[in-house]
Amino acid sequence: MECQFQSVLPSPTVSTGEKNLTSRGRATRDRIVETAARVIMARGVAGTTIQDVMAEAQVSTSQVYHYFSDKAALVAAVIEFHAGLAEPAEPADPDSVEKLERWCRNAITTQIERDFVGGCELGSLASELAETSEGVRIQLVQAFARWEAPLRRGLRAMRARGELRPDADPDALALALLAALQGGILLTQTRRNIDPLRAALTTVMAQVRSAVITPSP
C-alpha cells in the first residue's frame, strides 16, 4: 500500500509522462488532480482511496487510470499542483519588512479561516512521503524550494540594497521563516489554537527586524 512509492525512482525529477490530451481530457485530468489534492489534504495520502477521488470528482475508474499509471503518479501530480500554486499568488518577492510581515499575516489568517483544521499542503505530504521513495522526496525538495525562493530573493535583495546588516544571513533567515511556518502550522493544527504559529513567525520576524539597519534619524 506504500510499497508502490518505492518504484518511482526512474525519473529523477518528474515523470513528464505527458500524453496527447484534448481539451476535454485536460479538463478531466485537472479535475482529478484538484479533487485528489483536496481529499488528500483532508485525509492524507494513505487515508485517501482512489474511489474517494472518483466519487468526489465524478469520474470512473478508467478515467483515473487513463491519466495516471497508478496512485503514486496521481500523488506526484498533486505535489506538482501544490508546488505550482505558490507562484502566481505572490507576484513580487517580499523584499521589505512590511511585505514579509504581510506574508506572515497571510499565513496566520489562512489557518484561522480554516479553523486550524488541516496542516500545510506541502508539509503534510512531506511528513508522510519523505521516506517512501527518493523520487518523491526530490519532488518535495523542489516544491519547498519554490516556496522558499521568493523569501530568499527578497531578503537577499534587502541586504544588497544595504537595508540589512552585512553580517545578516538572508538564506538562513529564509529557511528559519519557512521552518517556523511548517512547525508553527503543525502545532497550531494539533492544538487548534493560533498561538504556536504566531509565536514562531513573530519570533523569527523579530530577528529579521533586528538585522535591519535603521536609518539614523
Partner DNA sequence: CACGGACTGGAATTGACATTCCATTTTTGC
Partner DNA sequence: GCAAAAATGGAATGTCAATTCCAGTCCGTG
Q: What is the DSSP letter of 216?
A: P
C-alpha span between 204 and 209 (Å, rounded): 9
Examine residue 37 and tell whether it contacts a second copy (CB under 8 A). no
Q: What is the DSSP letter of 160?
A: H
Could you tell which of a second copy, DNA, none binds residue 19, using a CB distance below 5 to 8 A set by kind?
A: DNA
Contact positions with DNA (CB under 7 A) in 2-41: 4, 19-26, 28
Contact positions with DNA (CB under 7 A) in 102-161: none
Interhelix angle for 23-43 vs 121-129, to 10°? 80
Size of the site for DNA (CB under 7 A): 25
Start-end of H helices in the chain = 23-43, 50-57, 61-67, 71-89, 97-113, 121-129, 134-160, 170-191, 195-210
End-to-end CA distance of the chain: 64
Calculate ∠ Cα 102-105-111, nearest 5°: 145
The minimum distance between CB 121 and DNA, in angstroms, equals: 19
Fill in the per-residue mask, 119 to 158: x = in contact with a second copy (CB under 8 A), - = not in contact: x---xx-xxx-xxx----x--xx--x--------------
Question: Is the CB of 54 or the CB of 180 nearer to DNA?
Answer: 54
Going by C-alpha positions, the residue among 179, 176, 170 that lies closest to residue 152 is 170
Question: Is the CB of 64 or the CB of 180 nearer to DNA?
Answer: 64
Examine residue 49 and tell whether it contacts DNA (CB under 7 A). yes
The minimum distance between CB 85 and a second copy, in angstroms, equals: 18
Count CB-CB contacts under 10 A for residue 170: 20
Chain residues that interact with DNA, rule: CB under 7 A: 1, 4, 19-26, 28, 48-51, 59-63, 65-66, 70-72
Chain residues that interact with a second copy, rule: CB under 8 A: 1-2, 42-44, 46-47, 117-119, 123-124, 126-128, 130-132, 137, 140-141, 144, 169, 171-173, 175-176, 178-184, 186-187, 189-192, 195-197, 199-200, 202-204, 206-207, 210
